[in-house]
């Protein structure tokens, strides 16, 4: 750009700012739609991005190469299970033992879920996640013992009433005491505390973990037959695909699935869960874009309307500028820059509001949020582009005014 062109651009910017300052209320109302659209995009993008990062770390934190054996794919739960899938057979503890014998499997652990309140003396907890497991739990899941020990093979084989507490029940029942060796009542049964877990990193909650682990044999003795899950880990990442194939073939045989029938179970990995979550967030992004596009469209129409009014109000000014030597493209750029600046200012405030909203949600509700420079830059360019697109017609109309007729305009 030559020197005269640069000076003209600076002059157009100065005139645009002067016009915005002279009509503050009108400018604010004009870009309200742009402000809402950009704020919604930035705020929701920050929340979804932060949520994505947190979900990925949470899933990966459960175990680096864990293989989940479940009755259904997670996607089947969306919209409800089809009737023909509701009666799939439950897994058994023996399935975990059979999987452990596969060449590619290092360890396999049965998991039996339940929920129950815990008490110790006069103290009582909210309902806790009571998980029955084998001694292989620590090798399969990425959890660590803080004090004491974990359940042993003897605890499982002798159906001992022993329990390992997470931070939540430990603090609730023994706030200022060492819980090791003390008695805890789970429902109607009494258990001895043999260990406590370290807090599992959870980006969604800063509260203590609310769960306990007991031998699955003691779990079945107290709560009866409950649905069993099976988690396994291969010897190394290199044999993970082989392990999945071996588990699939084994379970087809154990569940007597005919050769011409599909699996009546699901073998899942962390990547399966991440793909499922990504599909959900893609749909959420689509809804966000649709909502924000409507707001930007409304804002753009408002900008076009107000710029047409501005052209009419400033007809004599346009005539004077043309009489003093302003070219058609100078007038065109004057109004295009004014429209773009109008929406860009709305975009800046929208970005600030979106980032502020995400930060507020994070602070008040501990919901993860993450605004990136890329998303902020895209939002700003989008807001400025709305002004360019919807300002073309008014700017072109101003540029085509006849200077003589414009000077006569009252």
Per the rule left: phi > 0, alpha: psi between -120 and 50, beta: everything else, 2 is beta
Residues 179/196, Cβ–Cβ less than 8 Å: yes
DSSP summary character for residue 76: G
Q: In this structure, what is the dihedral angle of CA atoms 321, 322, 326, 328, given to the nearest 10 degrees?
A: 130
Can you give the pLDDT at residue 19? Answer: 66
Can you give the pLDDT at residue 118? Answer: 95
Provide the CB-side half-sphere exposure for 120 (13 A, CA): 21
- Could you tell me which residues come within 8 angstroms of residue 183 by beta carbon, excluding any fewer than 6 positions away? 120, 190, 191, 192, 193
Q: Which residue has the tokens 């005919």?
A: 258
Residues 267/69, Cβ–Cβ less than 8 Å: yes
Can you give the pLDDT at residue 6? Answer: 54
Which residues does the chain have with pLDDT short of 70? 1-23, 57-64, 75-86, 201-207, 403-410
Q: How open is the CA angle 388-394-399, to the nearest 5 degrees?
A: 105
Tell me the β-bridge partners of 186.
Answer: 118, 189
Write down the pTM of the prediction: 0.69
Q: How many CB atoms lie within 10 A of CB 116?
A: 17
**Cα distance between residue 43 and residue 46, in whole Å:** 5
Backbone angles phi, psi at 282, to 5 degrees: -65, -45
For every residue of 180-204, DSSP letters joined together read TT-EEEETTEEEEEEEEEPPPP-TT
Buried b (16+ CB within 10 A) or exposed e, 172-192: bbbeeeebeeeebbbeeeebe
Q: Which two tokens stand for residue 345?
A: 């200012």
DSSP summary character for residue 90: P
Residues 182/164, Cβ–Cβ less than 8 Å: no
Can you give the pLDDT at residue 251? Answer: 95
Q: Alpha carbon of 109 to those of 98, 138, 233, 264, 393: distances in Å?
A: 11, 9, 9, 20, 68
**Cα distance between residue 93 and residue 395, in whole Å:** 75
């Amino acid at each position: 750009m030559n020197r005269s062109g640069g000076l003209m651009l600076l002059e157009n910017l100065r005139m645009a700012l002067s016009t915005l300052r002279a009509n503050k209320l009108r400018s604010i109302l004009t870009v309200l739609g742009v402000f809402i659209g950009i704020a919604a995009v930035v705020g929701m993008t920050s929340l979804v991005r932060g949520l994505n990062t947190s979900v990925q770390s949470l899933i990966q934190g459960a175990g680096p190469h864990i293989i989940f054996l479940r009755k259904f794919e997670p996607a089947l739960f969306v919209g409800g299970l089809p009737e023909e899938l509701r009666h799939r057979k439950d897994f058994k503890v023996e399935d975990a033992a059979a999987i452990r014998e596969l060449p590619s499997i290092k360890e396999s652990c049965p998991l039996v879920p339940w929920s129950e309140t815990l008490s110790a003396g006069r103290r009582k907890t909210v309902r806790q996640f009571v998980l029955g497991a084998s001694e292989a739990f620590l090798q399969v899941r990425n959890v660590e013992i803080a004090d004491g020990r974990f359940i042993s093979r003897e605890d499982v084989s002798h159906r001992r009433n022993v329990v390992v507490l997470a931070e939540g029940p430990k603090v609730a029942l023994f706030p200022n005491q060492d819980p090791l060796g003390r008695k805890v009542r789970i429902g109607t049964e009494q258990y001895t505390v043999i260990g406590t877990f370290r807090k599992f990193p959870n980006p969604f909650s800063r509260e203590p973990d609310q769960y306990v682990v007991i031998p699955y044999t003691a779990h079945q003795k107290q709560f009866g037959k409950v649905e069993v899950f099976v988690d396994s880990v291969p010897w190394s990442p290199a044999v993970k695909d082989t392990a999945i194939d071996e588990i699939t073939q084994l379970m087809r045989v154990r569940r007597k699935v005919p050769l011409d029938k599909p699996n009546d179970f699901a073998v899942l990995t962390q990547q399966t869960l991440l793909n499922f979550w990504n599909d959900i967030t893609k749909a959420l992004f689509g809804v966000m874009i649709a909502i924000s596009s409507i707001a930007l469209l409304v804002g753009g129409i408002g900008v076009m309307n107000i710029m047409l009014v501005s052209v009419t109000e400033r007809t004599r000014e346009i005539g004077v500028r043309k009489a003093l030597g302003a070219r058609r493209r100078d007038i065109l750029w004057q109004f295009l820059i004014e429209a773009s600046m109008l929406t860009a200012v709305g975009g800046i405030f929208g970005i600030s509001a979106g980032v502020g909203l995400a930060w507020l949600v994070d602070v008040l509700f501990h919901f993860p949020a993450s605004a990136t420079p890329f998303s902020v830059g895209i939002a700003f360019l989008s807001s400025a582009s709305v002004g360019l697109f919807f300002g073309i017609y008014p700017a072109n109309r101003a540029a085509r005014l006849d200077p003589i007729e414009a000077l006569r305009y009252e």
